[in-house]
């Protein structure tokens, strides 16, 4: 059985520095203009490709602009507009119920604290961190998505599979200045080089043939 190698802190920091440098222009990937747009887009994006979410939201954001608009939406009408995303019926319910709470408790404004965001249906820590960072510039934690989970394991940044534990581990040694962007850096690297099925390790800035061969390639059985 292959052994899992966890990087020591120094090498983990070096790996992150190199990836941050390589993907310095990476940024959040869903389209939005307002905090309420972002909340809705983030709920829709769960287990749905970004391209699909971004293809649905322009029409949606034209029709519904405020938390009140969503709170008063007819579930069938909202479901129809988002029918290209997965679990659209449940997501429509989450959006309507989350927006009812926002109207009743927060005067129609998306709240600005982790605790309050986590009370909203359809919002977990990843979404809450995403909203705080991208809507308000508040960096409280690291959004852990599927790319962060996969690449953290491969690179040896975390042995955990639970997103909350991975977030704790990463926060222990990722420089705070990188917290707001590390998710998008790892995603950019995953899309371009550390691809899901067969990573292109030969072209990786922390791969075996590079000047900084840091990555232990945990779980990689085949690479290009
Ligand atoms: S060396 Fe391979 S497995 Fe490691 S980060 Fe690079 S592409 Fe991914």
Structural domain boundaries in the chain: 9-26+143-203, 35-136
Give the pLDDT confidence score for residue 2 in this predicted structure. Answer: 65
Ligand 1 atom closest to 220 (CA): 3
For residue 80, give the nearest of 99, 63, 102, 98 by alpha carbon. Answer: 63
In angstroms, the CA 90 to CA 64 distance is 18
What's the pLDDT band for 142 if we cut at 50, 70, 90? very high
Give the pLDDT confidence score for residue 66 in this predicted structure. Answer: 97
DSSP string of 46-72?
Answer: TTS-HHHHHHHHHHHHHH--SHHHHHT
CATH number at 9-26+143-203: 1.10.1670.10
Tell me if 16 CB under 6 Å of ligand 1.
Answer: no
Give the pLDDT confidence score for residue 1 in this predicted structure. Answer: 52
Average pLDDT value for the chain: 95
Calculate mean pLDDT across residues 69-93.
96
For residue 82, give the nearest of 71, 99, 94, 72 by alpha carbon. Answer: 94
User: 87-100 in b/e burial notation, b at 16+ Cβ within 10 A?
Assistant: ebeebbbbbbebbb
Tell me if 223 CB under 6 Å of ligand 1.
Answer: yes
For residue 34, give the nearest of 66, 9, 11 by alpha carbon. Answer: 66
Element containing residue 89 per DSSP (H, E):
helix 88-106
Tell me, in angstroms, the distance from the centre of ligand 1 to residue 45's CA. Answer: 26
> Does 9-26+143-203 match 35-136 in CATH topology?
no
Probe ligand 1: pick from 15, 220, 221, 222, max atoms within 8 Å of CB? Answer: 220
Ligand 1 atom closest to 154 (CA): 3
What's the pLDDT band for 172 if we cut at 50, 70, 90? confident
Give the pLDDT confidence score for residue 175 in this predicted structure. Answer: 87
* Assigned CATH class of 35-136: mainly alpha
The pTM score is 0.90
Tell me, in angstroms, the distance from the centre of ligand 1 to residue 174's CA. Answer: 18
């Amino acid at each position: 059985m292959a052994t899992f190698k966890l990087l020591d802190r120094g090498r983990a920091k070096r790996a992150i520095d190199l990836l941050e440098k390589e993907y310095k222009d990476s940024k959040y990937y869903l389209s939005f203009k307002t905090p309420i747009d972002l909340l809705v887009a983030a709920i829709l994006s769960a287990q749905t490709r970004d391209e699909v979410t971004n293809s649905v939201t322009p029409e949606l954001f034209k029709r519904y602009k405020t938390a009140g608009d969503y709170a008063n939406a007819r579930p069938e009408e909202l479901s129809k507009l988002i029918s290209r995303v997965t679990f659209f019926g449940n997501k429509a319910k989450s959006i309507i119920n989350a927006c009812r709470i926002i109207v009743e408790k927060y005067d129609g404004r998306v709240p600005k604290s982790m605790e309050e965001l986590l009370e909203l249906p359809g919002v977990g820590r990843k979404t809450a961190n995403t909203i705080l960072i991208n809507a308000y510039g508040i960096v409280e934690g690291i959004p852990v998505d599927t790319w962060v989970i996969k690449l953290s394991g491969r690179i040896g940044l975390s042995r955990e599979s639970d997103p909350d534990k991975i977030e704790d581990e990463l926060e222990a040694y990722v420089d705070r200045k990188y917290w707001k962007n590390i998710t998008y850096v790892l995603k950019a690297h995953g899309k371009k080089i550390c691809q899901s099925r067969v990573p292109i390790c030969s072209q990786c800035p922390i791969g075996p043939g590079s000047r900084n061969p840091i990555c232990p390639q945990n779980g990689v059985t085949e690479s290009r």
